[in-house]
Amino acid sequence: MIMIKGINLVIVFLLEVAMLVSYGLYGMTRQWSFLPKLLFTIFIISTAIVLWSIFAAPKSGHRLEMPYLAIFRAGMFLLSAWCLYESGYKNIALVLALLTAITQIVSLFTEK
């Protein structure tokens, strides 16, 4: 069980990185001029980082407890999958959504 938890935590971390990349990709693929695109991209990534650091970071004083943590993470990851889908990366979005479902279900059983 400890090995499953460790593998799951690694995958969740990789999903966090993918989430930020997908938000950035979504922002920069908008059909706007460069400055609004850049500002929107900075805003969406910064918002995700702030929300994550408050509600999901392991050392946060306001970290959500299970099952709310799994729901929050799933929401953030699924929103990033939607961003990938809207940016034209449909297959990668599907993989991200499937990994989200698997990791958060496993988290419900392995995390406190």
How far is residue 67's CA from residue 43's CA, in Å, rounded to a whole number?
28
Contact (CB, 8 A) for 51 and 76? yes
Residues 6+ positions from 28 with CB-CB distance below 8 Å? 37, 38, 41
CA nearest 92: which of 19, 29, 12, 42?
19
Computed over every residue of the chain, the mean pLDDT equals 96
With a cut of 80, say whether residue 1 has pLDDT above it: no
Instruction: Work out how many domains the chain is built from and give that number.
Output: 1
pTM score of the predicted model:
0.93
**Domain of 71?**
2-110
Q: 73-95, pLDDT tens digit by residue?
A: 999 999 999 999 999 999 999 99
43 confidence band (pLDDT: 50, 70, 90): very high
Give the torsion sign (CA, 17, 59, 107, 76).
Answer: negative
